[in-house]
Structure 1
């Protein structure tokens, strides 16, 4: 995410320009004395955005799981693979993901232009769609400040939905290019990992939910310690991208990662903690006017991606949601 820079201090110091001695009763004083004036910054809501984000995350996961279950059932019915049970369609999905994993990991930006859409698997389609959405929204808002602000999240405002829309807007072409470069660098690797198993629906749920959690992290840090950032419009896909980075590093700790424009590389496991420390410093202390980044969103996204792999989000979140969706759809005779 990107945000304009504002000072962290919320106190102004005012001195009378023409000091004069005054007498009040038996006491005299000079107007040259400095007076501290404190003003209210306005309240940033916390409970409402938290509830909204967690509700949205649950809705996203359930919707994506229901869509995938429907697709799996349609494919399952075409083949004589036994009775229609969740165990059977889950086994078929796992086998399919294993077969597609190698191809998914090697997916690149060039494949978008050289491979027919029908030949892409679901996770490859998701990455391509995410990039197209970011590019399209950037083009639509480039010359329209009003549209730009409609997508941006400003914490002092009472608009929860911008916690979601802000992950699709970008502040400039360089901002967009770097995020899309990172998406195509880490996205296919994460999609083909044991965590996602080439599931486009799972990848969609993870990407959107981690972006929401990253936006929420930025929002809450404008209560403390970055109080003046509550007035700053923030937007960008980097919160979700950092979640991809965290999940990638946890799945492939021995792979090396390099930083663009900087020579050399580091093992993912070591680089991850360096990036974590950098973003933590930026969140708590900052880098002055030199880096106008929403470090809290990066830190939140990175933490979500790491935690999702460490705490086995596939088996603790995704598969139970799929099972619930299957049972409810079967009960309602939707499948």
Structure 2
């Protein structure tokens, strides 16, 4: 059913129906009740996108994440939705699946729908496309979360270097010397910073860097499983795994190889209920997803209001 059909049933003009839908006071109360009754009886829902285009305004923000199956990004999305609701904002979600092409498609779609702004965790192959994001940010407020794309572009990020450094340091102080590392893609800022923290801790404690003990995955469970089967062929007494999905894959590999997880120290970047259920002794950080989401939306609001900000790049310590 279209707005023209509502107007015909009510025997009024389309403009009158439009005024009722938009809560315009310039309509007789009797006419308003009549139109609302017809709308309710026919389960009519206004086309919000069309209304946004005609009014050139809305309260919708677009969010693009690389892997919504990953509990890490699902947690981020959950907090963004909660925070947006407190501010009367609505959310449209796009999942890029680590595809720059899909990510670009969602950005273009959001521009067409005239969302107020975009919050994005970029794909792993976005880092050589800075010009593209600079061009987009000239058209619409763009806030980056979790993954840095450029040191000057606004965003909110978790601290990665010190967190991994501290875990490796803890291993070393517990007399662990053969410390393996399952790293993420080095095209992603978070993975790169975590690996740098690992290397620095080894260097500071005069432990030689062993390439055989560092393997590179893609932040998926499958890569954690495949790399786990490979790394466990080496004599190691501790391991740091870059994210929770790879950790689950690694634990699966340990089970298949009949290796007790309690025989070595295991750490991962973020806390996870599933991982804790499997083995509560795995070292991890409690990630402040709410803080990231709240500050991301705050920066977006400041950009929308053209407020001068002392710092529109925020790093959250764990």
Report which structure shows greater RCO (CA 8 Å, sep ≥6): 1
TM-score scaled by length of structure 2: 0.27
Structure 1 or 2: more helix by fraction? 1
Structure 1 or 2: more strand by fraction? 2
TM-score scaled by length of structure 1: 0.26
